[in-house]
Amino acid sequence: MPHRERWPIALTIAGSDSGGGAGIQADLKTFAALRVHGTSAITCITAQNPREVRAVQAVRPSILRAQLEAVCAELPPRAVKTGMLYSASLIRQVARFRFPEAPPLVVDPVMVATSGAPLLHPRALRALVRLLLPRAALITPNIPEAELLLQAPLRSVDELRAGARTLYRRFGCAVLLKGGHLRGVSQAVDLYYDGRTELLLLAPRVRNLHTHGTGCTYAAAITAHLARGLTLPRAVAAAKQFITRALARSYRAAHHDVLHVAL
């Protein structure tokens, strides 16, 4: 029998996007593109397309836990990512779960969809801050999410740098502050800080491109690289290259731009 390549395993805990551009769907495509076996635990079913989120139905916490237990029993992940968690009860379920071998946890603190629809229940923010972010190896907020966590505006690279340090001190984990919403800069700027290493990650800004799922894909790429054994700074740098390439090679589906994550 020919030798079969062994792929590492990663787990995404997030919502399902019926439009296929974000959420669980984006994460699993990204894992596969990076030769990582993707497993999933679905938190919410959304009725959405690139233009709007029409409905959200959260799963029961017991169903989320059953998914986590089923995956970990036979397919223990080497890295875990969270995306849309939506409610305090689902956040508590993830925070309390004990994964085998304590894989690194990447938390993408999804709060609002690209379309503007809320993806985090108002009462869930406190649970996210108190229970889950302190368990993370890395958090990956965009500017609006970071401003909500910091209760302060982020308008420059210097403010990104200060904000990343504040979040690091508050939660005790590495921070990747995604500066795609930063105005007045010609490049796509992200700031990584882990208490020792700082990376200013620059890439050409892709103009006139309207995609959703960029944050999901970016965090999933980091998670995949961690599952493959890269250190956190190297995983972040490699994921920045991956998302930049996916944006540059995006394709059209009907009237919408979609990230192309294939290598």
In a domain, 86, yes or no: yes
Among this protein's residues, is 215 annotated catalytic? Answer: yes
Strand, coil or helix: 17: strand
In a domain, 239, yes or no: yes
Q: For the chain, how many residues are written?
A: 263
Q: How many domains does the chain have?
A: 1
Q: Is the model's pTM score more than 0.75?
A: yes
Among this protein's residues, is 213 annotated catalytic? Answer: yes
Parent domain of 52: 9-249
- Rounded to a whole number, what is the distance in angstroms from the first to the last CA of the chain? 28
CATH code for the domain in which residue 96 is found: 3.40.1190.20
- One digit per residue, the tens of pLDDT, for the chain of length 263 reads 566 889 999 999 999 999 888 999 999 999 999 999 999 999 999 999 888 889 999 999 999 999 999 999 999 999 999 999 999 999 999 999 999 999 999 999 988 766 566 678 778 999 999 999 999 999 999 999 999 999 999 999 999 999 999 999 999 999 999 987 677 677 889 999 999 999 999 988 776 566 678 899 999 999 999 999 999 999 999 999 999 888 888 778 887 777 777 76
Residues 126, 14, 24: CA angle, nearest 5 degrees: 160
Among this protein's residues, is 178 annotated catalytic? Answer: yes
Catalytic residue among 43, 214, 223, 244: 214
In a domain, 4, yes or no: no
From CA 43, how far away is CA 61, in angstroms rounded?
A: 8
Residues paired with 39 in a beta bridge:
11
Among this protein's residues, is 12 annotated catalytic? Answer: no
In a domain, 2, yes or no: no
Catalytic residue among 19, 21, 215, 223: 215
